[in-house]
Amino acid sequence: MAEQIDALVAAAIHDAKNALMALDTQLGEIERRPASADFAAARATTSRIAGQLAELLTLYRAQGGQLRLAIDDHDLHDFIDDLLTELGPLPAGITLDVERSAAATLGSWAFDAYLVKLALLDALRNALRQARAHVTLTLQAAPQGGICFEVADDGPGFPAAILGGENAASTQGTGLGLSFARLIAERHATPAGKHGHVALANRPGASFTLTLP
Amino acid sequence: MDLRDKVGLLIDDMPEMRSAMRIQLTDAGLEKCDQARSIKEAIDRLKEKRYDLIVCDYNLGQGADGQQLLELVRRKQILPLSTAFMIVTGETGYEQVSTAAEYAPDDYLLKPFTADLLGTRLGRILDKKAALAPIYSQMGEKGDRTKALVACEALLANGGRYTLDVLRLKGELLTTLGRNEEALALYENVLQQRSTPWAEVGKARLLSLLGKDEEATAHLQRTLTAYPNYLAAYDSLAHLVGKTDKAAAQQIVEQALKVAPSTQRQRHLGGLALENKDFERAESAYRRAVEKDRTGFFKSHDDYSGLAKSCVEQGKTIEALTAVKDMGSAFARTPELEARQAAVECQVHVKSGNEAAAKLALEKALKVQQSAKLDASSALEIAQACFAGGRAEEAKAIIQSVAEDHHENDEVLAKAQGVFAQAGMEDEGTVFLEATKKRMFKLNNDAVAMAKAGQLDQAIEMLTEAADRLTNNAQIAINTAMALLMHVHRNGADLAQTKRAHAYILQAQRANASHPRLAEISGLYRKVAPAGAPPLEDV
């Protein structure tokens, strides 16, 4: 795991450096034209870097045996509301459909809202970047018990190597998010021994599913 | 939810944080909001006014935190369940805040946040409080648990988004009322749909109450593997394992302390380490309890007493006597404090071989004991000093009156057993306490039988004698009120007898507000009390 984290640290630093440069440009634009769309872009950039650093920190703590999940009941409808608020405005030309009718029947579910929110925000940002026009977020009861969140887009789909199970720390952004999502899915467990998991598929756009027990 | 007509209390020790937070609360729509800078101010405010919501920073300085404050005010019933409590914390504090203990905040919010988010979250918890209000209103000190259950049923029949919250409260109520099978069935039903920490721990508690300790232990261990942050599971497991294996219980409390620090858990650890003769660990645990809490609200006489005992066991007489002295400057002067100091000082002197000083201290402790009605812990401390000073008969007399007064309270009985164990009289203690319990059962049963046989006056006489002596015994107070009310019922309206019954019902409430028979006796009172009798408010 240590080597993998080293690679992720390098990729995250690289990404953060580029993001800070983009942020600098965006801030420059805001200075020139205060009420510009760059403002939203700048905020999106800062929350993306903050999210990635938080993910990295979590992986680092897990490696040191210091990560303990804080599992508590959360109302699923409210949780998705919070998620969308934090996601902020969508990129121009992309729509996001949210299917959460299952929240009404499920009510609340026990999970670590802070970590799951980080993972889903990352997946959503990724999908919004890759999508041609359309992203969907779906909440469902999992057939074997548990709940699943699916984030799907109509973009080119995951590269074959990632579908094959590589974490691909070097490919832009996805490596860290995926490692993080897999870690926290696995750490969500029940006393009966069930664990969460992450599933990836192309149908044909990328589909990311986080299942929690 | 409109926050404009709500009244809030903001608790934060940092002035600049407080004013920033106050602005955000105003922006979120909360206009009426008092402020408190410290635990003391917060408690004073809570005592004088009823708030809709509390927003409290996790870190309160002086070794105090929002979680400990929440536990304190909920346990002492200064903060009603209908008041929402939100803890605000930096990201680094989030693991400690989110560790659900017995008393968990209604929500916690990570800094930094916007006023919008703050408003949304406060609105949500207030909506939930409003929906559950019919249940909460019957769960306070003067509430009727049976009515609270009826309110649960009504809310469950309507369905809705708070179903799981209602089930959680219903499980707690059924457990308090001793309806163990129903409570277990409820938890198992919930767990069939989903796993959630509170239902797992609830199930384990019920298994234990139904005598299946082994199954309960295994269940809690599995629960902790899945939910290693869930403090309530550590607390239940330590309690359960501690019945037979104090060393294992000590290990569990050590683990819980790694999850989140708390003075109460340091005290628990110190107590277990003392019993395990792990004096060094006991000393460090008690020292932490004493030193960390510089507010004085969370530590107790027990911490100084434990510190003194663990020191003297290691031959550190001076440190032990210092702890006794420090106890005096940390707390208000009360008979309990005086008794404690003298009783612990006696034990220190006995251990260090200073017989004359030990004798003097013991005399002082006994003098206080004779002149004031002490709480159970202080009385038992004196009993322990009596054993140490070679006055076993006096020790037993004190323990007997404490045990009679608290014969339904397992915690006090376990403490009493601990006093025997310290004196090396473990087996004798078991027999002694068992006999005391039996005597109390017999007294209650005899009185009931007498009443049934028509000898109501004799039953009343016997019970009032006991109830006036044993003011902490809810069971006896309830039976006394019962006999008096039967008398009223049979012999016609008697205002004097009814007033006496009223007083005993209040005595039972003070002794144990969640006694399962309180609802029954209150119902009977309302039925037979004649016009002009004092009303039972909220009961």
Kindly give the pairing relationship between strand A147-153 and strand A206-212.
antiparallel
Is the sign of the CA dihedral B375, B379, B384, B389 positive or negative? positive
Q: Mean pLDDT in chain A? A: 88
pLDDT in tens, B506-538: 999 889 888 888 888 988 998 999 888 998 865
Neighbours of B378 (CB within 10 A): 24
If you measure CA to CA, which chain B residue comes closest to A193?
B226
B142-244 and B245-390 share one CATH topology? Answer: yes
pLDDT band for position A1 (50/70/90)? low
Res. B92: pLDDT tops 70: no
Residues of B with CB under 8 A from a CB of A: 91, 94-95, 98-100, 104, 110, 116-117, 120, 124, 161, 163-165, 194-198, 200, 219, 222-223, 225-230, 259
Cβ–Cβ < 8 Å for B506, B478: no
Backbone angles phi, psi at B482, to 5 degrees: -60, -50
Q: What would the two tokens of residue B170 be? A: 């219903």
CA distance B270 to B280: 10
pLDDT band for position B360 (50/70/90)? very high
Res. B34: pLDDT tops 60: yes
Position with higher pLDDT, B25 vs A35: B25
Q: In CATH, what number does B440-528 get? A: 1.25.40.10
| A72 → closest Cβ in B100, B124, B222 | B100
Q: In CATH, what number does B245-390 get? A: 1.25.40.10
Chain B positions in Cβ-Cβ contact with residue A104 (cut-off 8 Å): 161
What was the pLDDT predicted at B93?
A: 67
- Spell B175-185 as b/e; 16+ CB within 10 A means b: bbbebbeebbe
Name residue B108's beta-bridge partners.
Answer: B87
CB contact under 8 A, A191 and B161: no
**Residue B534, amino acid:** P
- Beta-carbon contacts of residue A164 (< 8 Å; ≥ 6 apart): none
CA distance B25 to B19: 10
Chain B positions in Cβ-Cβ contact with residue A213 (cut-off 8 Å): 195
Cβ–Cβ < 8 Å for B190, B200: no
> Could you state, in order of their start, the residue ranges of all structural domains in chain B?
1-136, 142-244, 245-390, 440-528
Say what percent of chain B tops pLDDT 70. 99
CB contact under 8 A, A68 and B161: no
Q: CB contact, 8 Å: A189 with chain B? A: yes
Q: List the one residue out of B405, B399, B373 whose CA is nearest residue B474.
A: B405
* Superfamily for domain range A2-212: Histidine kinase-like ATPase, C-terminal domain (3.30.565.10)
CA distance B292 to B295: 9
Helix (H, G, I), strand (E, B) or coil at B38: coil
pLDDT in tens, A149-171: 999 999 999 988 888 776 655 44
Average pLDDT over residues B152-157: 96
What was the pLDDT predicted at A166?
A: 66
CB contact under 8 A, A72 and B164: no
Q: Structurally, what CATH architecture does the domain formed by B142-244 represent?
A: Alpha Horseshoe (1.25)
Inter-axis angle of helices B518-528 and B145-158, nearest 10? 100
pLDDT in tens, B416-444: 999 999 999 999 999 999 999 999 999 99
pLDDT band for position A35 (50/70/90)? confident
Chain A positions in Cβ-Cβ contact with residue B165 (cut-off 8 Å): 73, 108
Adjacency order of strands within the sheet including A206-212: A95-99, A134-141, A147-153, A206-212, A197-202
CATH class (in words) of the domain with range B1-136: alpha beta
> Could you state, in order of their start, the residue ranges of all structural domains in chain A?
2-212
Cβ–Cβ < 8 Å for B484, B527: no
For chain A, the distance separating the N- and C-terminal CA atoms, rounded to the nearest angstrom, is: 24
Q: CB contact, 8 Å: A196 with chain B? A: no
